[in-house]
């Protein structure tokens, strides 16, 4: 189908990035959040990030002006209903996602495709709670969205071919690459990445190395651009823990048991960069390891 309008639910780190790339690709974007402050901050951040792209000659000033004019915001979730495609990028909690789709249901256009940016939750299960499981799939962007080239496309058991092809065409129009994943816990990227981060947490928990030595070892010894604990702070420790719990519950294998230290940091509210403390303390001029 010819997709022209896109609704994005959630104006946080992922939602504003998705709105950014969709608007630049020529789609009309309606960005929703429950908080007006979050919407204002998202639009300001998109403007700032596009201005950076202009300064690097990645896009023109006209490209930016056109894209910004295509982004509208709303506090009313139901206003997204007539969109050709809706991308849910809310908190990584299944009950919240189900409530969002339930609220949208009576307001959806007949043609509307529903997708979720979930990083780990079952697409089949989310789809089963809607009136259109055949027009529902996983549309998982990587963070930061404007920079990262990969999008995971995840079909639920009922997703039809037309829905998949429509989403694949969008990924190609964005200039990104699609990786098709089966609907198993955490899909491809996080099935591999988050257990590695969890193992780094165990390495710290067991005293094998401190934060700095673990991150330096992986950066210099495995040529990773960012150490696993630094990356965990960037992703959000609450998100890492949520994905580990999905893996542990969904695959029933003890190798996916979340590290107790990761759980403790989340309980303390030390969630990484977004709360200024995680495995590093970000309250000063330079990040300082907390262990």
* Long-range contacts, stretch 98-104, CB < 8 angstroms, 24+ apart: 98/126, 98/129, 100/9, 101/126, 101/129, 101/130, 102/129, 103/77, 103/78, 104/77, 104/78, 104/80
Closest CA to 13 of 246, 278, 233, 286: 233
Check if the beta carbon of residue 103 is closer than 8 Å to that of residue 131: no
Check if the beta carbon of residue 7 is closer than 8 Å to that of residue 101: no
C-alpha distances out from residue 91 to 11, 44, 64, 118, Å: 10, 21, 28, 9
Q: How far is CA 196 from the centre of its chain?
A: 18
Distance from C-alpha of 224 to C-alpha of 218, rounded to nearest angstrom:
6
Q: Binding site annotation covers 143? A: yes
Q: Binding site annotation covers 109? A: no
What's the number of CA atoms in the CB half-sphere (13 Å) around residue 33? 21
Q: Binding site annotation covers 10? A: yes
- 190: annotated active-site residue: yes
* Given the residues 117, 119, 166, 198, the one annotated as active site: 119
Q: Binding site annotation covers 97? A: yes
* Given the residues 116, 152, 198, 230, the one annotated as active site: 152
Q: Binding site annotation covers 12? A: yes
- 51: annotated active-site residue: no
Q: Binding site annotation covers 209? A: no
Closest CA to 6 of 28, 39, 33: 28
* Given the residues 116, 117, 120, 190, the one annotated as active site: 190
- 107: annotated active-site residue: no
Q: Binding site annotation covers 216? A: no
For residue 224, which phi and psi values (nearest 5 degrees)?
-80, 140
* Given the residues 140, 166, 198, 230, the one annotated as active site: 140
- 210: annotated active-site residue: no
DSSP, res 49: H
Q: Binding site annotation covers 13? A: yes
What's the number of CA atoms in the CB half-sphere (13 Å) around residue 141? 30
Binding site listing for NAD(+): 10-15, 33, 92, 97, 119, 143, 274
Q: Catalytic site residues?
A: 119, 140, 152, 190
């Amino acid at each position: 189908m010819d997709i022209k309008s896109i609704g994005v639910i959630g104006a946080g780190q992922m939602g504003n990035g998705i709105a950014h790339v969709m608007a630049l690709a020529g789609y009309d974007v309606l960005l929703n959040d429950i908080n007006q402050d979050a919407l204002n901050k998202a639009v300001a951040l998109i403007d700032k990030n596009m201005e950076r792209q202009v300064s690097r000659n990645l896009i023109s000033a006209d490209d930016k002006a056109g894209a910004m004019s295509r982004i509208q915001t709303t506090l009313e979730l139901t206003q997204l209903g007539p969109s050709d495609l809706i991308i849910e990028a809310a908190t990584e909690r299944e009950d919240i996602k189900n409530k969002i789709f339930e609220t949208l249901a009576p307001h959806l256009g007949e043609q509307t495709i529903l997708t979720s940016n979930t990083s780990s939750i079952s697409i089949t299960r989310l789809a089963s709670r809607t009136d259109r499981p055949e027009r529902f799939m996983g549309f998982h962007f990587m963070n930061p969205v404007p920079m990262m080239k990969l999008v995971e496309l995840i079909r639920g058991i009922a997703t039809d071919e037309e829905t998949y092809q429509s989403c694949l065409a969008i990924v190609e129009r964005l200039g990104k690459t699609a990786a098709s994943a089966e609907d198993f816990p955490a899909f491809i990227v996080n099935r591999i990445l988050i257990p590695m981060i969890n193992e780094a947490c165990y390495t710290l928990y067991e005293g094998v190395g401190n934060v700095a030595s673990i991150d330096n070892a992986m950066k210099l010894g495995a040529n990773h651009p960012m150490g696993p604990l630094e990356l965990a702070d960037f992703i959000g420790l609450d998100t890492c823990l949520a994905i580990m719990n999905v893996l542990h519950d969904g695959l029933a294998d003890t190798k996916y048991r979340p590290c107790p230290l990761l759980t403790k940091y989340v309980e303390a509210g030390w969630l990484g960069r977004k709360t200024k403390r995680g495995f590093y303390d970000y309250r000063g001029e330079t990040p300082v390891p907390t262990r």
